[in-house]
Amino acid sequence: MLEVLTQKLSGVFQRLGGKGKLSEKDIDAALREVRLSLLEADVNFMVVKEFLSRIRERALSAEVGQSLTPAQQVIKIVYEELTAILGNKPSKLASVDRPPAVALLVGLQGSGKTTTAVKLALHLKALGQSPLLVAGDTRRPAAIEQLRLLGKEQNIPVYGEDASLPLTISANALKQARQMSATWVIIDTQGRLHIDEAMMEELAEIKTSLQPLEVLLTVDAMTGQDAVKVAQEFHRRIGLTGLILTKVDGDARGGAALSISSVTGVPIKFLGTGEKIAALEPFYPDRFASRILGMGDVLTLIEHAEKTYDQQQARELERKMRTADFNLEDLLEQLKQIHRMGPLTKLMEMLPGFSRLASSVTDDEGEKRLKRVEAIILSMTPEERRNPALITGSRRRRIARGSGTTPQDINQLLKQFQEMQKMTRALMRGKLPGMPGIPFK
């Protein structure tokens, strides 16, 4: 998602980088391109207008620091304003003072609500909570059975009744949750193909009766501005505490993600990033903004590694990323294990310097390129992997022959790796414009 926007913004910044000093005309020309890119990505018109107005005002009044080029100053401002329209700070689930707490999942039919309920339960379970899933969707055929099967696969209890009203089911589930000492009750409510009066009345009745701690709307990110309209109506009628954007991994323009919080005032709390039950990520505005600008997302990458690798491997990866002591030998080792962490293109987006490559390939193409990269690195000597500066023209030709590639392929890999090292070092030390250093425990 948003890969086209990332490519276009990168192009704008590259053109600005070639100028020693930015005039008002340069800034206006760049902002016109940014405006078109945002509108093509289906970002809300008013959000775009206010966003660019703030950037222009700051870009024309800001003093360029001695360590920054004019283009870097603009990138810094764009990053900060992107983070602002995305919500500035992450919004977590409310703390539970008196369990069980109720999370009411609402949304239209087809938004991925039932699967998201299980994803949320698994997320809470990983945090040490005891969730109970409630099959409150009695209208959609097989919805109850789907929830039971998914819950059973993840060893998460599911409460359901085949012939009761949703309010009765929810009330009885709450009693069951108290008996089993559950900390969270996650209710999968009924959806419709469109918003109607009966659905809203039913949800309002359940909310009044159960007093949920969280009312979370699942919205399909691929529906663009329709998702924003749906969120506005749900928030107006029943009051939302958070949003979960589903199908973020889909082939969408992605404008909903950049519009929905700003328009509704409701924070995005989670992103559904794939079909697997574990594919639910807490939403971090600053990290999302970083990925849009092609700067990667090292923190999320490390969090993925912590879930996938053992603690010793995770600590070693953290140490190498923090000290920028990350060579081609380490990259080869990570590539060998990367399949366990999720789709390749998604992970590449998190690597500084590799996001533009990720946006230009499908997962199948990514697998082929991954094998090519592995072949190139395996054709190097151990000394070359640890110190790529040793690789001269003759060595490039030898590596190309050994890996079945071309010297140009070797040059491209080395260039991308150098960019990755440079950006990672800047991220860790807080030297990248507008971005804090990466905090490590």
Digit-coded pLDDT (tens) for 334-377: 776 666 666 666 666 666 555 555 555 555 666 777 788 889 99
User: Is 441 inside a domain boundary?
Assistant: no
pLDDT at position 430 is 54
- Position 406: which residue type? T
Residue 313 CA to residue 308 CA, distance in Å, equals: 9
End of a domain among 291, 320, 345?
291
Residues 286, 392: one domain?
A: no
Higher per-residue pLDDT: 332 or 394: 394
CATH for 44: 1.20.120.140
User: Is 437 inside a domain boundary?
Assistant: no
Digit-coded pLDDT (tens) for 156-174: 999 988 777 889 999 999 9
User: Is 113 inside a domain boundary?
Assistant: yes
CATH for 320: 1.10.260.30
Burial class (CB in 10 A: 0-12, 13-18, 19+), 10: middle
CA distances from 322 to 363, 387, 432, 440 (A): 28, 18, 14, 8
Residue 257: band (very low, low, confident or very high) from pLDDT cuts 50, 70, 90: confident
Residue 119 CA to residue 147 CA, distance in Å, equals: 11
Residues 334, 281: one domain?
A: no
User: Is 436 inside a domain boundary?
Assistant: no
CATH for 255: 3.40.50.300
Residues 306, 273: one domain?
A: no
Higher per-residue pLDDT: 228 or 301: 228
Q: Which residue range(s) make up the domain with 383? A: 294-429
Total domain count for the chain?
3
User: Is 440 inside a domain boundary?
Assistant: no
Residues 114, 52: one domain?
A: no
For residues 188 and 105, the answer to whether their CB atoms sit within 8 Å is yes
pTM value is: 0.71
User: Is 94 inside a domain boundary?
Assistant: no
Residues 267, 334: one domain?
A: no
End of a domain among 265, 291, 317?
291
Residues 124, 229: one domain?
A: yes
Instruction: Flag whether pLDDT at 441 surpasses 70.
Output: no
End of a domain among 291, 310, 341?
291
Residues 285, 340: one domain?
A: no
pLDDT at position 143 is 86
Residues 196, 131: one domain?
A: yes
Burial 295-331 (b: 16+ CB within 10 A, else e): bbbbbbbbebbeeebeeeebeebbebbbebebbbebb
User: Is 435 inside a domain boundary?
Assistant: no
Residues 250, 136: one domain?
A: yes
| Tokens matching residue 8 | 């276009």
Residue 268 CA to residue 113 CA, distance in Å, equals: 15
Residues 285, 202: one domain?
A: yes
Residues 282, 302: one domain?
A: no
User: Is 348 inside a domain boundary?
Assistant: yes
Residues 352, 258: one domain?
A: no
Residue 149 CA to residue 151 CA, distance in Å, equals: 5
pLDDT at position 428 is 58
